[in-house]
Amino acid sequence: MIFTHGYSCYPRSKNLRQKILDPLFEINRSYLSRAMATSSSSHAYIHHTAISYTPPKWAERLSKVPKERIILGVLPTPLHKWNIQNLPCGMEVYVKRDDLTEMQMSGNKARKLEFLMAEAKGNGHDCVITIGGIQSNHARATAVASSYLGLPCHLILRTSRQVVDKDPGLVGNLLLDRLSGANIHLVTKEEYGCNGSGKLMDILSQRLVSEGKRPFLIPVGGSNATGAWGYLEAIREMEN
């Protein structure tokens, strides 16, 4: 393993890549190609290219309105009525099915990444950094989105000292992270608590800048002003 500024980066094994990761990645790419080719006309924009963004009327006066959006999820997602017994009279419960956004990026993470990745591409960044837990859904979604868009992805993943000191393997989201070609940087929970997510990303960013890169930093969960526009779009979907 290579330790740099508290990070543990394990170099990819050529044999592992040839025997396991490369064939699985090809299967993954084949599935995506078929899914995109057979997608309905209502999802005609799921080609991972930037499109101009027009905010809802009620959000036009907000600051920093994004100029573009990259369609990453299968949207809009359906709104299903949840029939629960003994609800108060006149009350109804509905579930916004964001688990149906897409197989590799299932969940609400795709919503924020549509705007975050558009900002990264629009401002000329050539790689992406984000941070989270060892099985972070946000990190996995960022790795997949970066792969779609041809941007190298760096994931800083928080875990125990025992895992940092060895290869964490291909368990859960780590499999998809590695299939997507993400660069994995492991930090201990103690290092994370001592430094914080912002400082850890800054350290890695400085290293990449020294190598001539232009990294785009995405905070934990993609939760910032840019990512929030994904949820404004969810509200517009429910209005319609």
Q: Which residues are catalytic?
A: 136
Q: Indicate the DSSP class of residue 72.
A: -
Q: What's the burial of 125, exposed, middle or buried (CB within 10 Å: 0-12/13-18/19+)?
A: middle
Structure tokens belonging to residue 231: 């949820």
Which residue is associated with the tokens 């939760």?
223
Cα atoms in the 13 Å half-sphere on the side-chain side of 128: 32
Spatial neighbors of 20 by CB under 8 A, at least 6 apart, are 170
DSSP label at residue 213:
-
**Tokens of residue 27, six digits:** 């299967």
Identify each DSSP E strand in the chain by its residue range. 2-4, 7-9, 50-52, 68-70, 79-82, 93-96, 127-133, 153-159, 183-188, 215-218
DSSP single-letter state for residue 193? H
Q: Rounded to an integer, what distance in angstroms lies between the CA atom of residue 219 and that of residue 228? A: 12
Q: Are 162 and 133 in contact (CB under 8 A)?
A: no
